[in-house]
């Protein structure tokens, strides 16, 4: 396993390196020492392990994620992005919506796509869009544009993706990824 996720932007790589560089200086322990401690954690689920780190060692979410990713690479969300993608997008109708969004952004210069546990993210320098499956073969597209940019846009509701994504567009089929959606994706990309 590599120490960092694949498909990171230059900004994300810099952030990741800063966490690694400051680990020992700010915590008094090296990454390897924290990995050894992580392997003693009685919890088995990633969220519970992060909570354990915070409660017992004062380690925040970002550092805990890095430590746990190294200690338990099989649970790191970047360890097997294809498997994560297949699990998240198992519904063929929702997957078809994802593929329509991917086709709409495919030619944007500097595009980075990364798979997260609950959504697929798109970035240039910053995340500009994300799409997650929803019930009934649909999906929700988050965009880094103002909700007033188009009548179909809505404000986000507990989406769990980047706070930069200020608008959400429900997509019920691949046909919904029309020229208007492509223009919104282009505008969001330009802002990132």
Residue labelled with tokens 């890095």: 66
Long-range contacts of 26-32 (CB under 8 A, 24+ apart): 27/59, 27/63, 31/66, 31/67, 31/70
DSSP states of 66-121 as a string?
HHHHHH-GGGSTTT-HHHHHHHHT-SHHHHHHHHHHHHHHTTSTT-EEEE-SS-EE
* Residue % of the chain over a pLDDT of 70: 90
List pLDDT tens digits, range 8-19.
566 667 777 788
Position with higher pLDDT, 133 vs 118: 133
Kindly tell me if the per-residue pLDDT of 4 is higher than 50. Answer: no
Kindly tell me if the per-residue pLDDT of 25 is higher than 60. Answer: yes
Q: Can you tell me the mean pLDDT for 157-167? A: 86
């Amino acid at each position: 396993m590599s120490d960092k996720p694949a498909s990171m932007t230059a900004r994300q790589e810099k952030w990741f390196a800063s966490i690694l560089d400051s680990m020992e200086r700010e915590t008094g322990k090296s990454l390897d020492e924290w990995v050894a401690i992580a392997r003693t954690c009685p919890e088995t689920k990633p969220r519970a392990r992060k909570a354990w780190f915070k409660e017992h060692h004062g380690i925040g979410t970002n550092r805990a994620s890095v430590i746990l990713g190294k200690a338990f690479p099989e649970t790191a969300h970047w360890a097997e992005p294809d498997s994560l993608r297949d699990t998240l997008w198992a519904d063929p109708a929702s997957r078809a919506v994802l593929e329509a969004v991917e086709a709409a952004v495919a030619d944007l210069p500097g595009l980075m796509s990364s798979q997260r546990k609950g959504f697929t993210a798109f970035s240039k320098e910053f995340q500009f869009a994300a799409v997650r499956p929803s019930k009934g073969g649909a999906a929700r597209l988050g965009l880094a544009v103002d909700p007033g940019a188009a009548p179909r846009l809505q404000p986000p509701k507990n989406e769990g993706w980047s706070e930069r994504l200020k608008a959400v567009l429900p997509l019920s089929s691949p046909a919904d990824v029309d020229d208007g959606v492509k223009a919104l994706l282009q505008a969001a990309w330009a802002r990132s």
